[in-house]
Amino acid sequence: MALDVINPILTMPVPVWPMRESPRFGITSAMRNTATASLAIAEFREFASFSPCEQRYIKRSLDVGLGRQDAFKLWARDGAEMASIRSQYVAYQDLKVLRCDPPVETSLDGVDGYVGKLVRVSAFDLGQGRLGCFSAYRFLYERLIGPMVRPWLPAAFCGAAALPQIRPDLRKQLLQSISEAAATAPGWSPTAPRFYPEWVEQEAA
C-alpha cells in the first residue's frame, strides 16, 4: 500500500495578516469559520483514505497519547492487545518532552536528543505493523505532538522505518510510501489539526 496523500495542512498557505475582523482586510468571523470547516473536512477525507487497520490504530493511539479514554477498555480485544497498549503507554512517556522543546530548524543543537526520542517512539508505532504509510504516521503524530513536529517527521519516519527491528517486508513498504514532495518540503504550516478521530460505538475490528 502506498497511500501517498499530500496533507493539505502541509501545502496550505498560512495567512500573514492579523486574524481578526477588519474592514480593511475583509477578515470576518464567517470567513475564519469557513476556513476552519474546510480544513477539518480535508482532514476527515484524508483519514477516510486510510485502511480500517490504520484508522483503528490512530484512534487507539490518540486515546493513549492524549489521555482521552481508557484505551484498555475500548481497544484491547485479547491479551496480546492488552500487552501492546501497556507497552504503548510506556513508550509514549517521551511525548511530554517532544511537545515542549523542539530544536531550532536552523541549528543542530538539541537535534540528537529530540530526534532520538522521536525515532524511538516512532519505531514502537511502526513496529506494531498497523501503520502502513507515511501519511497515516504523519496524521497521527501531528495530533499526538502538535504542528511543531512537522519538520522532523520525514527524518524520524525514515530513521525508524529503516531500523533492523522493523521486519524487512514492512520496512520496504514504509520507506516506499513517503513521497518526494513530503521528504523535500520547503516549509511546514504551523496550523494545528482540527479533526481528531475518536472511538465510535460498534467499532469495526
Domain segments of the chain as ranges: 51-183
Please report the pLDDT score of residue 75 as a whole number.
96
The predicted pLDDT at position 144 comes to 98
- 8 CB-near residues (< 8 Å, 6+ apart): 39, 42, 43, 46
- Other Cβ atoms closer than 10 A to 13: 7
Which residues does the chain have with pLDDT short of 70?
1-33, 35, 202-205
Instruction: Give backbone dihedrals phi and psi of 181, rounded to 5 degrees, phi first.
Output: -60, -40
Report d(CA 164, CA 30) in Å as an integer: 51
Tell me, what's the pLDDT at 36? Answer: 74
* Res 30: pLDDT: 56
pLDDT in tens, 8-31: 333 333 333 233 334 444 445 555
The DSSP bridge partners found for residue 134 are none
Q: Which residues of 102-120 are buried (b: 16+ CB within 10 A; e: fewer)?
A: bbeeeeeeeeeebbebbbe
> Which grid coordinates are listed for 53?
487497520
**Model pLDDT, residue 4:** 39
Q: Kindly report the pTM of this predicted structure.
A: 0.80
Give strand pairing partners of 22: 27
Q: Cell triple for residue 172?
A: 520496504
- Tell me, what's the pLDDT at 109? 87
* 160, 78 contact by CB (below 8 A): no
